[in-house]
């Protein structure tokens, strides 16, 4: 969340919120997070005037890239605050900065680190302003989990709301002799 009062504090202090993590992030093979909001102007909010809108200026993308983020998930209750145009702008700006934007439609994505392949799936069970939400359980989630388990040694599921990847836990080793583990981040 880099909008509203957080953005005001960033402008006032002129210090990255990740300064204390710089050494850790530089040493990591991969750094991911959840982008809570959408890039664009608050005047484009698709919410009632009294609802919190997490419109974030595009200038923060450079700060995220400098901090070392490689992937940001875009599935949460504020990802649709600027409607579909805000989602598209967020994906494009992150991609341009070398950060992999990950939403449900484009899940799973695969990251190769050394000998390991990590599959990342982004899910939200909390309805966004633009109406997007994933139903649990669902055929779409099961298909994404099945594909991820077949191709990756580790499956990382980034879930906002109710844990969403547990539907695959009982059969996580099916079809993959070496097995794959599921890590759920909420």
Domain ranges of the chain: 4-185
- Give the pLDDT confidence score for residue 163 in this predicted structure: 64
pTM of the predicted structure, to 2 decimals: 0.83
> Helices then strands (H, E): number in the chain?
5, 9
Q: Is 16 exposed, middle or buried (0-12, 13-18, 19+ CB in 10 A)?
A: middle
CB 61 within 8 A of CB 93: yes
What strands, in cross-sheet order, belong to the sheet with 32-34?
A: 32-34, 71-73, 100-102
What are the tokens at 143? 């298909």
pLDDT, tens only, 36-50: 999 999 999 999 989
The pLDDT tens digits of the residues spanning 103-154 come to 999 999 999 999 999 999 999 989 999 999 998 889 999 999 999 999 999 9
Which of 46, 147, 135, 34 is closest to 94 using CA atoms? Answer: 34
């Amino acid at each position: 969340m880099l909008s509203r009062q957080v953005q005001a504090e960033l402008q006032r202090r002129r210090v990255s919120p990740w300064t204390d993590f710089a050494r850790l992030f530089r040493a990591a093979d991969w750094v991911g997070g959840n982008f809570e909001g959408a890039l664009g102007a608050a005047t484009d909010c698709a919410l009632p005037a009294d609802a919190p809108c997490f419109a974030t200026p595009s200038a923060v993308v450079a700060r995220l890239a400098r901090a070392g983020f490689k992937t940001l998930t875009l599935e949460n209750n504020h990802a649709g605050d600027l409607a579909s145009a805000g989602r598209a702008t967020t994906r494009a700006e992150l991609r341009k900065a070398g950060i992999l934007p990950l939403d449900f439609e484009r899940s799973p994505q695969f990251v190769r680190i050394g000998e390991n392949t990590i599959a990342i799936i982004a899910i939200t069970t909390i309805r966004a302003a633009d109406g997007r939400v994933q139903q649990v359980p669902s055929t779409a989630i099961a298909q994404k989990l099945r594909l991820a388990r077949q191709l990756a040694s580790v499956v990382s599921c980034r879930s906002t709301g109710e844990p969403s990847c547990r539907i695959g836990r009982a059969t996580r080793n099916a079809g993959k002799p070496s097995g794959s583990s599921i890590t759920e981040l909420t």
